[in-house]
Chains A and B, each alone.
Chain A
Amino acid sequence: MIDDRQFNRRGFLKSGASLVGLAAAGSLLPLSAARAAPLTVGFIYVGAKDDFGYNQAHAEGAAALKAIEGVTLVEEENVPETVDVQKTMESMINFDGASLIFPTSFGYFDPHILAMAPKYPDVRFQHAGGMWSADKHPMNVGSYFGYIGMGQYLNGIAAGHATKTKKIGFVAAKPIPQVLLNINSFLLGARSVDPTITCQVIFTGEWSMAVKEAEAVNALADQGADVVTCHVDGPKVVMETGAGRGMFLCGYHASQASLAPDKYLTGAEWNWAQVYTEMVNTTLSGGTIPNFVRGGLAQGFIKMSPLGPAVSAEARTQFEATQAEIMKGGFAAIKGPLKDNKGNVIATEGQSFAEDDVALESMDYLVEGVVGSIS
């Protein structure tokens, strides 16, 4: 959680409804508050900063920047992927003097960042998602991303040890490559424990739709799945519904341990604090952030939630051994012999796709053992 916010949305609406308590009139700020910091950094989120998920992970990373001398942080949440985000970027540049902007939603890149970058050549735009390419995009745009599929592989190991029914579940937003890689990695992690495990996947079709996510978890539980993870923007509903049905939980994006500490096994988290601190320090020291940055567990781009109390000693041993293996770099979750769930060969004996293999970025299959369909 971001603990230095004075108000959150819910509390604000609540106090609006009751209108209780007298408070002193606020101090009169001058309208154009002079900000004499050497670097103003802007963060834009597509959802709420405290969504227990994608946006919170970025907001936690942004909060780490406040500790850096000379950095002013400006943020805006719930900004849709329309002309709104273009104007928010311009507003941060014009009114706050932001010269480094992190529009964090995947959908902000094309066309919105690409529309603003040529107009403000002195501003650096950093986008999470890894879409920048040198021959197509401006040099004041950069992209970064992490191999979080490895985190889902480790989630799968914890899940594989915890499941009694040998059925695990995955609530997914859309059948796009990043999500498919997570689903496949989760199952393959579990199958490294017991090759008879299957994973049922349910696509909700939306990045953020609480009702469908809750329905999906209930459907998974009804079908006998006893561990659940997800790839949606805010995993809160999945975790709470799953805990209510007595399922074990593997987190995603940020730590959801506080929602159900007894049921939470571990989680694949972004570690944006380290990434952002490094990027800002590079900028402050006069350097240029590389346009194309990626990393995994080894580079500190992602991290795992601490193992929960429900994780057995045996599970812990395998989890830690595999984590150490991944830390060496070049680990491959997708390796032969492997078929997809329609019987097509994905990888032959000896063939493997390491975490940084670009072939994984156009994944269009679910591996054998995943119950579900893309189309």
Chain B
Amino acid sequence: MDMMNDRSGACPRGGAPLPACGRLAASYVPVQPQGCRRYNPEDALAKGTLFPGLDLPWMNVANATPAGWSGTPLGELMSLNFVVQELGLYLDTHPEDREALRYYTEYAALLKQGEETFTARYGPLRQMQVTLEGGYNWVGDPWPWEYGPGCEACERRDD
């Protein structure tokens, strides 16, 4: 079977093809085939990877995000950001994968949109995003190592 062209579902567990007659004294890691199944953004962040074929958790217990985290403004932003970041690494070694590139640009646009809504409500993520109306709130708490009580963006909104 030509696994490189198997676009039916997940990357086959156990991997992708290696060269039939490999060089001696060389290391081989199978190259991830194109068209692998992907998790949705929320699951991807929870698992720590976008790709089920790479999801190899400790003791075979599924990874998770904290209870109540999904659906929070910061959670949604982190999930989108994670998809873009993970696809970026994939594309670094698969620059010819047009489908992944299309998906990348789609999610980069969603992230940009999400950031605009987020920063309007919770303040800037980058210093340059401060506005005259908002005042110089770049220095406002909480900083990222202070998530917890008082982090509005960490809590689900009722509206």
Same complex for A and B? Answer no
The residues of B with any CB-CB pair to A shorter than 8 Å are: none
